[in-house]
């Protein structure tokens, strides 16, 4: 008989380890006067921004995000596109890795998939993007973000603009259906979802369509 650890290795098995961070708009430094942001609200425009940043957009995913209240901002400077970011302004953040839904406070934004061009990194452009977005959405001065535990540059960028670590989340998914919540802190933000109180969940055939639909 194979040991439990062996069962969590192999094709279709993915381990997840990330942290939740919280920031305050009042702690984000003022943006460089040479930078600005433009909001784009359709997948085609989002795709053009990605192309200018030499990245490949997923038009279908962009459409889903925009439909669910995400807002997309392009950061530029005198030389052109410097980066971009998605900002969740809906009611929740769904972590498909853990099959959990975290409620987003009404005065907060969830920072997603921020990209800064390699030539601009280390110059405060992450903070500049956040500062511009907070000015554009003043009713949401709080910020939440999630970052892979081993992504040291991103963690450092968050800490440099005042983010604080609130929780570390770990889990394992097996063929996108069996979920092991190795480390889960539901009290950081209200958590719901597929049997949120359990450590191990096997999504049923009837639950899988909703699970996939919630991914954004």
Contacts of 63 (CB under 8 A, 6+ apart): 43
Of 96, 70, 57, 106, whose CA–CA distance to 214 is shortest?
96
Q: How far is residue 166's CA from residue 145's CA, in Å, rounded to a whole number?
A: 10
Q: How far is residue 164's CA from residue 24's CA, in Å, rounded to a whole number?
A: 9
Q: How far is residue 75's CA from residue 61's CA, in Å, rounded to a whole number?
A: 20
pLDDT reading at 2 higher than 50: no
Domains annotated on the chain, with CATH: 4-214 (3.40.630.30)
Give the model confidence (pLDDT) of 54-65 as tens digits.
999 999 999 999
Q: What is the pLDDT of residue 136?
A: 97
Give the model confidence (pLDDT) of 105-164 as tens digits.
999 999 999 999 999 999 999 999 999 999 999 999 999 999 999 999 999 999 999 999
Residue located via tokens 């302004």: 89
Residues of the chain above pLDDT 90, percent: 84
Residues of the chain above pLDDT 70, percent: 94
- Helix and strand numbers, DSSP H then E, in the chain: 6, 12
The most distant pair of C-alpha atoms in the chain lies apart, rounded to whole Å, by 64
Give the model confidence (pLDDT) of 91-109 as tens digits.
899 999 999 999 999 999 9
Q: Report the 10 Å Cβ neighbour count for 178.
A: 17
Q: What is the pLDDT of residue 96?
A: 93
pLDDT-derived band at 165 (thresholds 50, 70, 90) equals very high
64-79 mean pLDDT: 96
pLDDT reading at 192 higher than 60: yes
Report the chain's mean pLDDT, rounded to a whole number. Answer: 92
Q: What is the pLDDT of residue 183?
A: 76
């Amino acid at each position: 008989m194979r040991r439990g650890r062996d069962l969590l290795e192999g094709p279709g098995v993915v381990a997840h380890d990330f942290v939740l961070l919280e920031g305050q708009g009042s702690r984000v430094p003022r943006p460089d006067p040479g930078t600005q942001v433009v909001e784009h609200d359709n997948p085609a425009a989002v795709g053009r921004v990605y192309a200018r940043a030499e990245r490949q957009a997923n038009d279908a995913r962009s459409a889903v995000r925009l439909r669910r209240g995400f807002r997309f901002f392009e950061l530029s400077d005198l030389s052109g596109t410097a980066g971009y970011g998605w900002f969740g302004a809906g009611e929740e953040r769904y972590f498909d890795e853990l099959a959990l839904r975290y409620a987003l406070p009404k005065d907060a934004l969830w920072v997603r998939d921020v990209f800064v061009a390699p030539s601009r990194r280390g110059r405060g452009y992450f903070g500049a993007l956040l500062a511009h977005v907070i000015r554009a959405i003043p009713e949401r001065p709080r910020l939440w973000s999630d970052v892979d535990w081993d992504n040291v540059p991103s963690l450092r960028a968050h800490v440099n603009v005042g983010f604080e670590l609130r929780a570390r989340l770990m889990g394992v998914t097996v063929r996108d259906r069996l979920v092991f919540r190795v480390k889960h802190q539901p009290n950081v933000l209200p958590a719901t979802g597929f049997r949120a109180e359990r450590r191990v969940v096997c999504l049923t055939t009837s639950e899988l369509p909703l699970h996939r639909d919630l991914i954004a």
